[in-house]
Structure formats: structure tokens, C-alpha cells
């Protein structure tokens, strides 16, 4: 194991951790275990107490909803789920999830859900155009999974089967790499009162075997060694212009 790999601050507990989401009001991290069909709510201050909400389907994306609770993408549908676990399907997208399913998504500054390369984006009209390639990877192991941006426009790619977080400029120039003590790095979230820290979610291997001695697959990690300038996540149904 490489000695400079970031070590977990919460030990392995998810089969496929994904879609981390920070709430500043109570200093909590909300994230899903896709295969475990759970939402985890972790208190970041204190002793890292964790609350779990069970879901009736695997879920791949999580956002806060204007009316409370969460806006969720399950394998098949877009769902509103209340804080007490009540599940309301807003739109069924796929009927046979063995053939195709929803994966990641995002909320824009006007509170709209996108589940869809890089495009030019007109916020008012919601029109995307000028598709272009920003970053390619052929110099390291693994595949791109989640993507995060900071207030400077820099990109952070989370590398599945590569055990890393990679920072790029908005033009695609490699800036920095952080090694994580889990091969399957999935996504990240800006956390803290100033959104200046990053937490990373990870997944276990399908055979549940460690890739190396001491691997912490399925754990949570802080990315060390840098003070970030993060961005808050938008809320579904709520325009950032009204804040």
C-alpha cells in the first residue's frame, strides 16, 4: 500500500457509496449506498453518529428538495422522498432496469434536474450546446466516475478502479492527484462552514476482496493537504437567484 494514500475517517460501511451531499445547517453529510438501498446521514461534528433511511429501490442520485426531504433518482424513476421515508414517484423513466437505468444527475442554479462531455449552458433557457471534450484519460488506471467543480472552475474527477482524485483546470490541464486508500473512488462533496474541505465516497469490489493489504473500500475519506474553495449544491425546485 502506498504510504501517502488518504486514510478513512469513517470505516468501511457501504457496498457502493455515492452522491454525497452536505447540509451546513446541522453539519451533516448525506450520501447513498446504491446496492444497500440506503441513505446515510452522518453527523460530521462530534462522534460521527450515523442515521440510516432504508429505500425500496437502489438509488443513484440524491439532492435536497425545496419542499423538504430529497429528490432522488432510483434505477427506474425520479422520486420525492420525505425525511420520514415516504416515497412518491414523480416520473418513471425506465420500466426494465435490467436493460437501462438512471445513474448520476445534477441540479442547476434554477433548481432543475438534469440527468444526461461538456456543453455550453444557457441558464435562463436551459439550452445546452457546443458539446466538446474537456479531459481524456489514458495515462492512469481506472475510469472516470463522479465529477465536482470548485469556485475557480477547476474540475475534480473521481477514479473508479484507480484509487484517486484528480484535479484539472477548466481547460483540461492536470493540476494534482490524491491517492485514496480504496480502489473504487466514486464521488466527493464540499463540506464545512466555508466549503473548504472535501469528503470522498468509495465502493467495495464486487467480490468483496481487498485489492491490497489494508484497503478501506466502502469507507469515507477526507482529501488531505489543501484548502479548497468549494461550491454549495443547488436545491431541487429552488432558484439560487432567490437566495
Q: For residue range 151-191, what is the model confidence (pLDDT) as tens digits?
A: 999 999 999 999 999 999 988 899 999 999 999 999 999 99
What percentage of the chain exceeds 70 in pLDDT?
Answer: 88
Computed over every residue of the chain, the mean pLDDT equals 88
Q: What pLDDT is stored for residue 106 in this prediction? A: 86
Q: What pLDDT is stored for residue 19 in this prediction? A: 96
224 band by pLDDT with thresholds 50, 70 and 90: confident
Q: What pLDDT is stored for residue 1 in this prediction? A: 41
Selected catalytic residue, list 26, 83, 84, 145? 145
**What cell numbers appear for 211 in the block?**
485489492
Q: Is 145 one of the annotated active-site residues of the chain? A: yes
The DSSP code for 235 is P
> Is the pLDDT reported for residue 117 higher than 50?
no
Q: Which domains does the chain have, with CATH numbers?
A: 12-242 (2.120.10.30)
CA atoms of 79 and 72, how far apart (whole Å): 5
Query: Taking residues 21-29, what's their average pLDDT?
Result: 97
CA atoms of 14 and 31, how far apart (whole Å): 10
Q: List the one residue out of 136, 148, 137, 139 whose CA is nearest residue 104.
A: 148
> Is the pLDDT reported for residue 90 higher than 80?
yes
> Is the pLDDT reported for residue 18 higher than 80?
yes
Instruction: Output the DSSP codes for 153-214.
Output: --EEEEEETTTEEEEE-TT--EEEEEEBSSSEEEEEEEESTTS-EEEEEEE--TT---SSTT
207 marked as part of a ligand binding site: no
Who has greater pLDDT, 114 or 7?
A: 7
Please name every residue paired with 91 in a beta bridge, in sequence order, or none if there are none: 78
Amino acid at each position: 500500500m502506498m504510504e501517502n494514500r488518504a486514510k478513512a475517517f469513517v470505516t468501511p460501511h457501504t457496498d457502493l457509496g455515492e452522491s454525497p451531499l452536505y447540509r451546513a445547517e446541522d453539519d451533516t453529510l448525506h450520501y447513498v449506498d446504491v446496492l444497500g438501498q440506503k441513505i446515510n446521514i452522518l453527523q460530521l461534528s462530534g462522534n460521527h453518529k450515523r442515521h440510516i433511511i432504508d429505500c425500496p429501490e437502489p438509488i443513484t442520485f440524491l439532492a435536497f428538495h425545496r419542499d423538504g426531504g430529497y429528490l432522488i433518482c432510483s434505477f427506474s424513476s425520479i422520486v420525492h422522498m420525505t425525511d420520514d421515508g415516504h416515497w412518491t414517484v414523480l416520473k418513471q423513466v425506465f420500466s426494465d432496469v435490467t436493460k437501462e437505468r438512471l445513474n448520476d444527475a445534477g441540479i442547476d442554479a434554477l433548481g432543475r434536474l438534469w440527468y444526461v462531455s461538456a456543453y455550453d449552458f444557457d441558464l435562463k433557457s436551459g439550452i445546452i450546446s457546443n458539446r466538446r471534450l474537456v479531459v481524456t484519460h489514458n495515462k492512469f488506471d481506472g475510469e472516470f466516475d463522479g465529477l465536482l467543480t470548485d469556485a475557480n472552475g477547476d474540475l475534480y474527477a473521481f477514479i473508479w478502479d484507480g484509487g484517486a482524485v484528480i484535479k484539472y483546470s477548466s481547460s483540461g490541464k492536470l493540476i494534482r492527484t490524491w491517492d485514496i486508500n480504496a480502489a473504487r473512488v466514486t464521488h466527493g462533496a464540499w463540506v464545512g462552514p466555508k466549503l473548504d474541505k472535501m469528503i470522498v465516497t468509495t465502493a467495495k469490489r464486487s467480490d468483496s476482496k481487498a485489492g491490497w493489504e489494508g484497503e478501506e473500500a466502502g469507507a469515507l475519506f477526507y482529501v488531505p493537504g489543501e484548502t479548497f474553495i468549494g461550491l454549495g449544491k443547488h436545491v431541487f425546485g429552488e432558484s439560487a437567484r432567490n437566495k
